[in-house]
Amino acid sequence: MKAWRIEYRLRKSAFPDKNFTPFWEEFAKNPFESEDEKLKLLWESRVPGSGAPEHLIVGAIQAVENMGMDIRRAEKLLKNGFKAYYSGDFRLLSVITAEIFHFLNNAPKIKGHQYHFFNRPLEWEKISEKFPKEKYEIRKSEISDKICGGWLGQIAGASMGTALEGYMHRALVNRFGKKLGRFVGEPDTYNDDITYEIAFLEALKERGEISSEKIAMKWIELIPSGWSAEQIALRNLRNGIFPPQSGTEGNYFQEWIGAAMRTMASGLVSPGNPPKAAYLAYLDGRVSHSGNGLYGGIFIAALVSLAFVFKDPEKLLIRAIKYIPKGSELESVVWEVMSYCNGTKNPDKVRRFIEKRFKTYNWIHLYPNIASVITAIYFSEGSFDRAMEIVASFGYDVDCNGGMAGTVLGVMNGESGISDYWKKPFKGKIRTYLPKFDEIEIKELCKTCEKFANGGVYDY
């Protein structure tokens, strides 16, 4: 029906209600209330699972500088911004915040910055042009066991890390000591990472070819809110800005960990088929990320897919790196970490190197976190427990890192390779904050992935 006709009929059928009570007075009590709450979260918040402090506005400035842009004009406003925040002057704070974002949106390139010397392809054809074309045959009897191992490993690792995320090594050791690498409290499956995997799997269930747009529609339908890159992407999507623009427009966090933290599912539905896993991760990742953030998701998906085939951690990592675009900054970072792992043979030395190497990056950025995951897998010797010890000791975004490393080790070893210690607390179920999926049987997640691993209904 024509829009003008709907409006015309509405106006023609509208008559004053003599019992109507005006509500302007109620609105006028605090017209900025909801906007002020959003503003506060930008300037100061705490991570829900661990209580770690966060200044997201600072992270935005960091992120733009990491991409080789001159952020000095935005950075100069932080002092007055925090002064306005702590004094409760939210009208002034809203102005300062807008100015910061304006300067970030228009930040000039820093000439000679190393970021600009790397390749940063964005279209699949360019991203994948040097990827291997390989597919491995895997026994169907193994696929089911390894998929379940992957899910259990992810859920256990993420739940372990939820209480630790946002802190650094020293603080974690001082607080938890030898408990690090185990559950430090009652494990809780509430986690934002898995919500996006559920949306991805629901999109796969739709008939026809899978696409970024289908995944985005499931985000809108199922996911109430997100954080950093995902929250901006959700806002863009609800305003009709679809992928790939949803992952770039006003999205200062497009190279953070968010794509990599959720593309394990792309690997679980593509056992032994890393090109397919990489493509699915590309479709999913570009909803909220771009550039190196997108490549991180592709790498993790290929890593999980190849874990169905390779048992040796070092060989697995080297093979998966082939699914990072040649000449990209992420490829350089990953090889740098791998070289350090190979040279030191000591994960704690690697951790100290990473802390120094990435000290200018936010704790949610892709680089220090992917470095943590690589180190944990490299030195794991195939042991799930050992990988969790290493990934916990690094700090940073530990729930994401535990989930990624846990999925890989879970696939490599199968369900039996994860001890009952990690599985019993969940009693076969997880909880989420998605309205339609408040409680899910872990076996159902496994069956869904197994279905698509054996064909499914989507076109590829």
pLDDT of res. 124 = 98
Q: What is the pLDDT of residue 434?
A: 83
How many angstroms separate the CA atoms of 176 and 196, rounded? 30
Half-sphere exposure of 379 (CA within 13 A, CB side): 26
In tens, the pLDDT along 35-72 reads: 888 899 999 998 888 889 999 999 999 999 999 999 99
Distance CA 290, CA 247 (A): 6
Phi, psi of 451 (to 5 degrees): -60, -50
Select from 216, 218, 364, 354 the least CA-distant residue to 293.
364
Report the alpha-carbon distance of residue 434 to residue 275 in Å, rounded.
Answer: 30
Cα 296 versus chain centre, distance: 10
Q: Going residue by residue through the chain, which has 460 residues, state the pLDDT in tens, using 9 for 90 and above.
A: 888 898 889 888 988 888 877 766 766 666 667 788 889 999 999 888 888 999 999 999 999 999 999 999 999 999 999 999 999 999 999 999 999 999 999 999 999 999 999 999 999 999 999 999 999 999 888 999 999 999 999 999 999 999 999 999 999 999 999 999 999 988 877 777 889 999 999 999 988 889 999 999 999 999 988 889 999 999 999 999 999 999 999 999 999 999 999 999 999 999 999 999 999 999 999 999 999 999 999 999 999 999 999 999 999 999 999 999 999 999 999 999 999 999 998 999 999 999 999 999 999 999 999 999 999 999 999 999 999 999 999 999 999 999 999 999 999 999 999 999 999 999 999 888 888 888 899 999 999 999 998 764 444 3
- Interhelix angle 291-307/313-321, rounded to 10 degrees, is 140
Residue 192 and residue 87: Cα distance in Å, rounded? 32
- Residue 356's contacts (CB-CB under 8 Å, 6 or more residues apart) are none
Full-model pTM: 0.94
Same structural domain, 138 and 238: yes
Q: Are residues 67 and 160 in the same domain?
A: no
**Domain's final residue, options 71, 97, 117:** 117
**Considering its fold, how many domains does the chain have in total?**
2
User: Has residue 16 been placed in a domain?
Assistant: no
- Residue 459, classed as helix, strand or coil, is strand
Q: Assess whether 107 and 135 both reside in one domain.
A: no
| pLDDT at site 459 | 40
Is 405 inside any structural domain? yes
Domain encompassing residue 227: 126-459
Same domain, 208 and 162: yes
Buried b (16+ CB within 10 A) or exposed e, 58-80: bbbbbbbbbbbbbbeebbebbee
DSSP state for residue 107 in the 8-state scheme: P
Backbone angles phi, psi at 76, to 5 degrees: -65, -20
Question: To 5 degrees, how large is the angle CA 394–CA 171–CA 63?
Answer: 60
The per-residue pLDDT for 127 is 98
The last residue of a domain, from among 68, 99, 117: 117
Q: Are 196 and 268 in contact (CB under 8 A)?
A: no
Nearest to 259 by CA among 285, 298, 278: 285
Q: In the prediction, which pLDDT does 333 show?
A: 98
Residues 107 and 179 in one domain: no
Residue 23: the pLDDT is 67
Residues 250 and 296 reside in one and the same domain: yes
Is there a domain that residue 209 lies in? yes
The residues that bridge with 119 in the sheet, in sequence order, are 328
In a domain, 401, yes or no: yes
Which CATH number goes with the domain that contains 315?
1.10.4080.10
| Residue 133 covered by a domain | yes
List, in order, residues 6 or more apart from 23 with CB less than 8 Å away. Answer: none
* 221 and 317, same domain (yes or no): yes
Asked whether residue 5 is domain-assigned, the answer is no
